[in-house]
């Protein structure tokens, strides 16, 4: 796979807002999306995280042959978006255990703070080409 694909929790309102933000900012259409709950998302998780007892509770970024999770995935997304968002990539110098500690705190509370959708996100007609739905 030579494209950038973000796997996100289709039920999570915060995750869906992140997708909305990227859709708006990614004017060059460099990023595609798939929910973690989709067949595609599940197959990627099994392929890359089968050795873990539990799949990561995180956004996952596939870029070429590399797979990123947690804060590292988010920072790489900002880098892909280009300026001015690319400037946030400077935070990659912060040790991952600190970045991921903050990320995991937000992830653990995201449904309490932002709510959860009753159904997985369904792309609009205009968004369809940006989503992998198999």
- Specify the pLDDT at position 2: 58
pLDDT digits (tens, 9 = 90+) for 13-30: 899 999 999 999 999 999
- Specify the pLDDT at position 117: 80
Query: Are 85 and 25 in contact, with CB atoms under 8 Å apart?
Result: yes
- Specify the pLDDT at position 49: 79
Instruction: Show the domain range for 121.
Output: 4-130
Query: Are 8 and 36 in contact, with CB atoms under 8 Å apart?
Result: yes
Sheet holding 31-35, edge to edge: 31-35, 4-8, 60-63, 66-69
pLDDT digits (tens, 9 = 90+) for 54-80: 566 789 999 988 999 999 999 999 999
- Specify the pLDDT at position 95: 97
**Global pTM?**
0.88
Total tally of structural domains belonging to the chain: 1
Residue 42 CB partners (closer than 8 Å, separation 6+): 36
Sign of the Cα torsion 117, 98, 85, 34 reads negative
Helix %, strand %, coil % for the chain, to 5?
50, 15, 35
């Amino acid at each position: 796979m030579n494209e950038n694909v973000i796997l996100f929790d289709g039920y999570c309102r915060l995750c869906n807002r992140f997708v909305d933000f990227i859709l708006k900012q990614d004017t060059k259409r460099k990023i595609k999306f798939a929910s973690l709950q989709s067949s595609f998302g599940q197959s990627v998780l099994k392929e890359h995280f089968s050795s873990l007892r539990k799949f990561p509770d995180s956004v996952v970024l596939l870029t070429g042959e590399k797979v990123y999770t947690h804060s590292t995935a988010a920072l790489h997304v900002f880098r892909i978006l280009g300026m001015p968002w690319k400037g946030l990539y400077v935070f990659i110098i912060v040790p991952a255990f600190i970045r991921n500690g903050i990320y995991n705190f937000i992830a653990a509370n995201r449904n309490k703070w932002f709510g959860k959708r009753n159904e997985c996100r369904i792309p609009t007609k205009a968004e369809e080409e940006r989503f992998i739905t198999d």
